[in-house]
Structure 1
Amino acid sequence: MDALKRTPFYDLYSAFPESRCIDFGGWELPVQFTGIVKEHEAVRQSAGLFDVSHMGEFMVTGAGAEAFIQKMTTNDVTRLTDGGAQYTLMCYPDGGVVDDLLVYRLGEGRYMLVVNASNIDKDFQWLQEHLPSGEDVSLTNVSDETLLLALQGPLAETILATVTTAPLAELKPFHFIERATVCGAEVLLSRTGYTGEDGFEIYAPLNTAETLWNGLLAAGVPHGLTPAGLGARDTLRFEAKLPLYGQELSADITPLEAGMQFFVKLDKEDFIGRGALLQQKAAGLPRRLVGLEMIDRGIPRSHYPVYANGVTIGEVTTGTQSPTLKRNLGLALLDAAYSEIGTEVYVEIRGKQLKSVVVKAPFYKKIQGVKPQ
């Protein structure tokens, strides 16, 4: 059995006696530091610091880099200017999702792609297989050289401002500074995140790990900053209806079914999967991702089947008791005929079909007027 990978912050977890690590896609990562609910609430009310160094980073460079990314992804990368980031997806020819990712435009012919940890090898191979021959495009995997911290929450800017001179107030969501100084270390500083809150993601060389971790936590002491693990990251992104690959997105779920239409520019030039997605849109979506709220007592969990009139109509993709709203909620991929808000359906929990209702999602939306590009 292969040994679990560890991030450069692993040895620093021991300062938190209640921290607990799990196997997450081959990585030994903290599911919690002081408790999932406590960490969740800290991010909603003040701030949390996440080690997400398991994520993958690829550099795409050369005169043909933009055209290559445009062919491989669903969003329109030509809309990016230097210092801009974009959420997008890669699809298979049948419209299923290879992965969802962020694209950073560092400069003309210079891009960074940030992909999910569990898909690093698959994504890199997929991109390599489609590199155009005879064109100036270079693809490099720099994941093993790059750490990533996420400082998230309403007080993230206040905390970060004490350890950087970067003009944070001027940095808009989905924009970044390629060379900023944080705690004395040179980093790429991005106003992005995965929690539904304002926040920043910090990319840096591995040898800056201790400086950044300790410096940010010390700066956050007066503001209630806490380290946060995978458990809180999942409940936070769930409340904001941010998809998780393998649950809301997969090779068997298209971005249209997952409600990601905004990030699929079907009117741009051809990209892999475009034909299938155009066909699916024209025919009408067979399934839709919806929000569920339990009426009967029970918590919907991933892969629990959902019924209507005694017939299976889909399954839960993610579900929990919302720490913010204190309600038993779920996201579910259902037959489109049952996707209208107010529709009563039944979730099978421990052998019993319990009543629930389709509700509006995201369940939590704090940042108004902020749309990813």
Structure 2
Amino acid sequence: MTTTGTPSSETAPRTPLLAIHEAAGAQLIDFAGWQMPVRYGSDLAEHQAVRERAGLFDLSHMAELRVRGPEAGAFLDHALAGRLSAIELWQAKYSLLLAEQGGIIDDVIVYRTADAEFLVVANASNRHAALDALTARIAGFDATIVDETEETALIAVQGPAAAAIVGAIGLESEPIEPLRYYRSLPAVFEGEDVLLARTGYTGEDGFELYIASHAAEDLWRALVLAGEAHGLVLCGLAARDTLRLEAGMPLYGNELSVDTLPAQVGLGRVVALKMKGDFVGRSAVEAGPAPDAPVLIALAADGRRAPRSGYPVLDGDRVVGRVTSGALSPTLGHPIAMALVEPGSATSDSLSVDVRGTKLPARVTQLPFYTREARA
């Protein structure tokens, strides 16, 4: 079983694109033990490029866990909160890995890549926690799980021009234009297998491409070349964070944690209580959170002062919760935030955020803050 913990600098995994990022002048940060680009230049310019044209992201720090065997689907039905055995070949599904107590160990995307094979993609920070939990739960099932993280690169192209760019790099595959959201295709790039998925974490149209690590540089360069005609911009984790916040997508460690049940954060629909039998965490999910457990809300404000993660949320003069994610929205031009607050304040019209000692009046609104359909 893989051990947990932060790897040393000598054993820390490295994105196969690290040299390219360094040559491009990226600012690198340590993220879950990986040196990853947080930005190449301006966060705002990278964000706007994705909304208006296209952005290119290295997501090779994400964890890829391959599940194979005659009972792979039944195993995932037991281990996760969704009915994964029912998804079609090349379909993707968002799901949750729950603890016995119902808290969220991780949120994952699962792809069906063969009748008896699935790819589970977990968050980088939860790679070992997810692998350990799945390994413990696979006992008794005719299935195996293999960690392919360090052998796999993940590159994302996001934005209105994403399809034109991906379509111009010479992939051998079925036509990509008809591919629906949360579907994937097997493809080949210069002799290397690619899993091409119409998925993303930005609120825009886009694709995520999984390829062997040794072929990542060639694929990246091909996408950069194809993107020149479309204004493609290299993007880091900072832009990815503001993009996903505008799109109302939760982030593990901010909105999601092992102490939070799905119903508290609007993910009760992800748990297939009516469609499947027993699974780890079911009884706790059915019991539901405590009556006073905090719930996730969306907040919007005026001005230019941004609420940040951890800032107190007040109802009148009383602290009733904390901001989980917040920013000055580059697209909308005003502050936005998600916050976990006491249920009695979830619809209050007297909320504010303590922004470094100043009360910023905030109004409860709906998620997502931004959709490309509304923009159109």
TM-score (norm 2): 0.92
> Which amino acid is 2:214 matched to?
N
Alignment of 1:1-373 (within 5 A): 2-3=8-9, 4-17=12-25, 19-133=26-140, 135-163=141-169, 164-166=171-173, 167-178=175-186, 180-182=187-189, 185-267=192-274, 268-280=276-288, 286-295=293-302, 298-340=305-347, 343-367=349-373
Q: Is the 8 A contact 2:198 2:207 kept in 1?
A: yes
Query: What secondary structure does 2:361 align onto?
Result: strand
Deviations 1:121-165 (A, max 9, x none): 1111111111223x3111111111100001111110011111124
Q: Distance in 2 between matches of 1:34 and 1:273?
A: 43
Q: Which consecutive residues of structure 1, in runs of 5 or more, have no partner in the other structure?
A: 369-373
- Aligned-residue offset at 1:117: 0.4
Q: Distance in 2 between matches of 1:296 and 1:186?
A: 49
Which amino acid letter does the alignment assign opposite residue 232 of structure 2?
L
1:220 & 1:297 partners in 2: Cα distance? 33
In structure 1, give the amino acid aligned to 2:371.
K
**SS of corresponding position for 2:261:** coil
More moved, 213-222 vs 310-319: 310-319
Number of equivalences: 363
Aligned Cα root-mean-square deviation (Å): 1.8
Task: State the Cα distance separating 1:253 from its structure 2 match.
Answer: 1.3
Write out the 4+ residue segments of structure 1 that deviate beyond 6 Å after TM superposition: none
* Contact 1:189–1:202 under 8 Å retained in 2: yes
Shift of 1:78: 2.8
Q: CA deviation at 1:23?
A: 1.2
Question: Given the superposition, is the C-alpha separation of residues 2 and 154 from structure 1 closer, same or farther in structure 2, using an over 3 Å criterion?
Answer: same
Contact residue 303 and residue 334 of structure 2 kept, 8 A: no
Quick one: distance in 1 between partners of 2:367 and 2:109?
22
Mapped partners of 2:126, 2:330: distance in 1: 29
Structure 2: stretches of 5+ with no match in the other structure: 1-6
- Counterparts of 2:196 and 2:84, CA distance in 1: 20
Secondary structure, aligned partner of 1:257? helix
What's the % identity of the aligned pairs?
39
Q: Give 1:309 deviation, angstroms.
A: 3.3
- Which residue is 1:371 aligned to? none
The alignment partner of 2:156 has SS state of: strand
Quick one: distance in 2 between partners of 1:285 and 1:257?
Answer: 10
- Read off the aligned partner of 1:41 and give its amino acid letter: Q
Contact 1:185 1:211 in 2 (8 A): no
2:75 aligns to what SS in structure 1?
Answer: helix
Q: Is the 8 A contact 1:296 1:355 kept in 2?
A: no
What is the CA–CA distance in structure 2 between the aligned matches of 1:132 and 1:343, rounded to whole Å? Answer: 50
- CA shift for structure 1 position 255: 1.4
- How far apart, in 1, do the equivalents of 2:160 and 2:302 lie? 32
Q: Is this contact kept in 1: 2:302–2:334, CA < 8 A?
A: no
Cα distance between partner residues in 1 of 2:297 and 2:189: 40
Which has the higher mean CA deviation after the structures are superposed, 209-218 or 269-278? 269-278
Q: Secondary structure of 1:256's partner?
A: helix
